[in-house]
Amino acid sequence: MQKKTFTAVFISILAVLCWISLQCAFIFGFKALKKFLDSTATEHIVFVRRSNLESEPGVRVLDANNPYFQVIRMEPNRVEIDWGKTGIGLKNRCRVKMLEEQKVQVSGILSDNKQYPITIDSGFNHSVLVSDTIVLDAGLEIYPVAESDGINGGLCNLKQLKIGDLTIEHPPCIYKLAHYEGRKLGKTKWKEEIIALGLNLMKCFRYILIDNINHEVEFSIRDTFEPADSNEWSRYSTSLEIDNSKRERLMVDIPLAGKTRHLMLDTGSGCGLIVAKDVWKTISSELTILKKTNIKQRMMHGFESSKEITVQNLDVGDHQLKNAVIYMLLNEEPCGKDFFLLGMGYFQDTVIVIDFERNLLWIKNTQQLYQ
C-alpha cells in the first residue's frame, strides 16, 4: 500500500514538474521567438498627424490675452500676435557639445528641468518650434490656431530654455500637430521629439560657430568672430530675405556646380543639397551622375517622393566633394519650384561660422574630401 502511495505521489510530482517545465519552455520559447522576430523585422518610419491637442488629458489651453502673448487679430489661416519680450541671458560666449554628427543638435533643458535634444535650425523662420510629443511630455500650455497646412497647431508657453550657459526666457513658440515615429510588428518603438531653435533667435547672436570636427557649437552675444588665421577660411555673403510665403530665410551666395548660386542655408538639415526639379535642371549639366535611386525624403511636413542622385564631383565653395549626394524633390508642392537648400551634409569635415554681424558664412579650408 505504501509503495503504491509513494508511486502515486512520485508520478504526481513528476507530472507537476513536467507541466512547469513545459510552461517555462513555452514562455522562454515565446520570448525568444518574439525577440528573434523583433530583431529581424523591418522598422517602418511613419508620419503621424493629430487633429488637435486640446482634447488630450492634462493639456491646459491659454486664453487669447495672457502675460506671454496677445492675439491682436485672427483671420482664416492668419493670426497676428504681440509677443512679450524675450530674454536672452549670456555673459559673452558659450560652447556646447553636439549630440549628432549630421544635424546641428545640442542638449537643452526646459523650465521643468527636463532635458531634450535641441536642433539649431536656420531653416525654421520663427523662434522655437516644438512637436506635439514635447507639448505632452513637458506639459506646455497651448493656444490653438488653425493653419492652412494642417500641421502647425498654434502657440505655446515656453517659459525657459537653457543650452549650456545660455538662457532664453519666454521665446515665441509654435507647436505642430505631427511627428515621425518608428514601428516594428505594429508596435511603436520610438517617437520623435522636436525642439527647434529657429532663425528668429539665431540672428540675435553676433555669430554661431558649428565645429563638425570637435562636434561643438558656440554662441556669441557680444564678441565678433575673429579667426586666428584668416587665410585658413573662405568667406561667402549671406542675407536675410522674405520668400513668397512671407517666411524669412537665411540665404548664401556660394560657388556650386560651376557658378555662384543663391540658395537657402539650413542648419536643421542633415543632407547636403535638396532641390526642386526645375533647380536640378539648372545644375545637372555641370555634373557627372553616377547613380539615381527613388526614395522618400523626410521633411518637416512629412515624406516627399524624391530621387537620391550621386554625382562624381561637386564643387561647394573651395571644397571639392567626391560622390556627393543630392536629393531632388519630385513634387513642386509644398516647397515650390525654386526650392534650393544647402544643408549640413557637405560640412562634416570642417568648421563653419554664421556671422550675423557681418552677413558672412565662414568655411574653414580642409584637405579632406566628402566620401
* Mean per-residue pLDDT over the chain, rounded: 86
Q: Given this model, what pLDDT does residue 331 score?
A: 87
Q: Is residue 13 part of a domain?
A: no
Q: Give the CATH number, domain containing residue 297.
A: 2.40.70.10
pLDDT: which is higher, 157 or 66: 157
Same domain, 153 and 196: yes
Judge whether 219 lies within some domain. Answer: no
* Percent of the chain clearing pLDDT 90 (strictly above): 61
The pLDDT of residue 3 is: 55
Task: State how far the Cα of 299 lies from the Cα of 124, in Å rounded to an integer.
Answer: 12
- Clarify whether residues 264 and 353 are in a common domain: yes
pTM to 2 decimal places: 0.85
Q: How confident is the model at residue 36 (pLDDT cuts 50, 70, 90)?
A: very low
Domain membership of residue 215 (yes or no) is no
Q: What is the CATH number of the domain that holds 197?
A: 2.40.70
- Greater pLDDT, 276 or 22: 276
Tell me the pLDDT tens digit for each residue of 230-269. 899 999 999 999 988 788 999 999 999 989 999 999 999 9
- For residues 156 and 259, membership in a common domain is answered with no
Q: Assign 69 a pLDDT band (cuts: 50, 70, 90).
A: confident
Give a yes or no: residue 113 inside a domain: yes
Indicate whether 66 and 195 sit together in one domain.
yes
Same domain membership, residue 68 and residue 137: yes
64 falls in which pLDDT band (50, 70, 90)? confident
Provide the domain limits for residue 66: 47-202
Do 177 and 70 belong to one domain? yes
Check if the beta carbon of residue 288 is closer than 8 Å to that of residue 313.
Answer: yes
Rounded distance, CA 324 to CA 312, Å?
Answer: 7
* Model pLDDT for residues 312-368, shown as the tens digit of each residue: 999 999 988 999 999 999 988 778 889 999 999 999 999 999 999 999 999 999 754
Give SS3 for 291. strand
Together in a domain, 186 and 316: no
Question: How many whole angstroms separate alpha carbon 206 and alpha carbon 83?
Answer: 23
Record the cell numbers describing residue 248, joined without a space: 524669412
CA distances from 323 to 98, 275, 366, 369 (A): 26, 17, 17, 9
182 and 255 part of one domain: no
Contact criterion met (CB below 8 Å) for 329 and 306:
yes
Same-domain pairing of 184 and 263: no
| CA dist list (Å): 298 to 108, 179, 308 | 24, 11, 12
> Between 308 and 76, where is the model more confident?
308
The model's pLDDT over 180-227, given as tens digits with 9 standing for 90+, comes to 999 998 899 989 999 999 999 999 999 999 999 999 999 999 999 999
If one counts the domains in the chain, the total is 2
